[in-house]
Amino acid sequence: MRISIIGSGYVGLVTGIGFVKLGNEVIFVDVDDRKIQMINNAQPPIYEEGLEELMREYKGRYYATRDYKEAILNSEVTFIAVGTPSREDGSMDLTYVKKASEEIGGALKEKGTYHIVVVKSTVLPGTTEEVVKPILEEYSGKKAFEDFGLAMNPEFLREGVALKDFLNPDRIVIGVQDGRTKKVLEELYAPINAPKLFTDIKTAEMIKYASNAFLATKISFANEIGNICKKLGIDSWRVFEGVGLDHRISPHFFKTGIGWGGSCFPKDTKALIRKAEELGEDPIIIKAAVEVNERQPLKLIELLKKHVPELKGKIIGVLGLAFKPDTDDVRETRAYVVVKNLLEEEARVVAYDPQAMENFKRFYPDVGERIEYANSAEDVLKRADVILIVTEWREFEKLDYSGKIVIDGRRIKAAEKTARVYEGVCW
C-alpha cells in the first residue's frame, strides 16, 4: 500500500519505517527541513535502535517532503502522527493535529479516489470525531465515512524498542466506524501477528489513555510500597518479584526507583486528569500517581544528603540524563529535577549520558548550561567521588565504583557490589 505519514517524530518515523518493512511505500510529511533532509539521506533524526539500519536497507521505498498535497494525492492511507504536547495547565495542545487536519482536508478536496485518514497521535476521547472530522469535512467539502474513511489507531511503542514493538506488538487497537476503512486497515496490518481489537473511535482513544494511566499508576504504586520498604530495610525489587508472579498482576513495570518520565506518561496522565475534571470527576488515583512521581526523584537528593550533608561546592557525578536507557529523549526526565535540586544546593555537577547530553543542554538551558559534561562514564568517576545514578544504561554496569559513594535511582548491580557506600532509592 502507499501510505503517507504526517509528522516524522518518534512515532511517525518508526511507524512509517515499520510499514516500509512490511512491504509498503511511505511518504513522510514534516515542516522541519532538517528532518526532511536527514530522512531523504537515510539518516534518522532521532536515536532509536535498529532504525538507521532499516532506513539504509529500504532507501528508495520512502521519502520525506513538506508538501501535504503531493503526499496525500500519492497515497491511499494517511496517518496523523504529530505531537499533542501539554499546555501549561496540563491540557492537550491540539495545534498540530488541527493544522494537519486542515492540510489533509485541503488535499482531499482534489482527490478523486477513496482515501483513509487514521489518527495515530494520542488524543483524548472525542477528539477524532469532534475536532479532526469537522475540519477534514470543512476543508475537503466531503463527508467522513462516506467520501473518505476515518479511523483512530493508537500506538503503544516504547522508545528504545519501538521497532520491535511495531513489528511484534501485544495488540493492535483500531477504532473504526465504516466497513470499507476497517477492511483496508485489516489488510494493512495483516502481516502482523497480534490480537486485533476493533472498537468504535472514542473507545480506541480511551484505550491508549487508560493503558498509560494504568502503567504509570502501577509504577507509582510500586514506588510508594518501595519507599515503605526502604524504611523497613526490605528490598522492594524482591517484593515485586513475589507480587508479579500472580498472573493477574504480571511482573512487568514493577521496577521501583526514581519514577517515570518520557513523552507519554507525564503528558497523558495530566491530560486525562484535566479532562476528568472538566467532566466534573475527581480522578484521585491518577492524581496520586502523578504526585508520587513528582516526589520520587527528591528521594535521591534526600539519600545523598544523608551521606553528604553539605553539597555546596561539592562535585557530584550524575550518570544518565535520558528519561530511560537506549534513547536520547530527555522529555520529563527525572534527571532534570535531580540536577535542578543539586544546583539549588550549589553543588558542582559533572554529568554523562551516552546519547542525551546535547538534548539535555538544549531542552533545559536553565540547568543544562550550568553543568559540566564528561566524555565518558569513567571520566565522571575520575572527577567525582559522589555519584548519582539516574538512568540505567547498560554501560554503567561495566564500571568499577570502588571508593565512591553511590546513590542509585535505578539499581545498577555493579555499583551495588563495588561502591564504598551504596544506597538504593527503594532497596
Interface residues toward ligand UDX, by CB under 6 A: 155-159, 212, 215, 219, 253-255, 257, 259-265, 323-324
Least Å distance, CB 364 to ligand UDX, is: 16
- Give how far Cα 98 sits from Cα of 4, 124, 135, Å: 17, 14, 7
What are the percentages of helix, strand and coil residues in the chain, rounded to 5?
A: 45, 15, 40
Q: Residue 256 annotated as binding?
A: yes
Helices marked H in 110-200: 127, 133-140, 162-167, 179-188
Least Å distance, CB 106 to ligand UDX, is: 30
What letters, b where the CB count within 10 A reaches 16 and e where it falls short, cover 279-295? eeeebeebeebbebbeb
Q: Which lies closer to ligand UDX via its Cβ, residue 24 or residue 223?
A: 223
Backbone torsion region of residue 50, taken as left when φ is above 0, otherwise alpha when ψ lies between -120 and 50, otherwise beta: left
Q: Which strand (E) or helix (H) includes residue 304?
A: helix 284-307
Largest CA distance in the chain: 71
Q: Residue 267 annotated as binding?
A: yes
Least Å distance, CB 260 to ligand UDX, is: 3
Q: Residue 383 annotated as binding?
A: no
- Give how far Cα 328 sits from Cα of 9, 10, 85, 245, 374, Å: 13, 11, 18, 33, 16
Q: Residue 399 annotated as binding?
A: no
Least Å distance, CB 212 to ligand UDX, is: 6
Q: Which lies closer to ligand UDX via its Cβ, residue 45 or residue 261?
A: 261
Q: Which lies closer to ligand UDX via its Cβ, residue 17 or residue 107?
A: 17
Q: Residue 396 annotated as binding?
A: no
Q: Residue 261 annotated as binding?
A: yes
Check 80, 150, 222, 264 and give the catalytic one: 264
Q: Which lies closer to ligand UDX via its Cβ, residue 27 or residue 215?
A: 215
Least Å distance, CB 47 to ligand UDX, is: 13
Task: Check if 426 is active-site.
Answer: no
Helix (H/G/I), strand (E/B), else coil: 248:
coil
Q: Which strand (E) or helix (H) includes residue 149?
A: strand 149-152
The grid coordinates of residue 130 equal: 469532534
Q: Which lies closer to ligand UDX via its Cβ, residue 50 or residue 106?
A: 50
- Residues marked as binding for substrate? 156-159, 208, 253-257, 261, 324
Residue list, annotated binding site: 30, 35, 84, 122, 156-159, 208, 253-257, 261, 267, 324, 331
Binding region for NAD(+) = 30, 35, 84, 122, 159, 267, 331
Catalytic residue numbers read 264
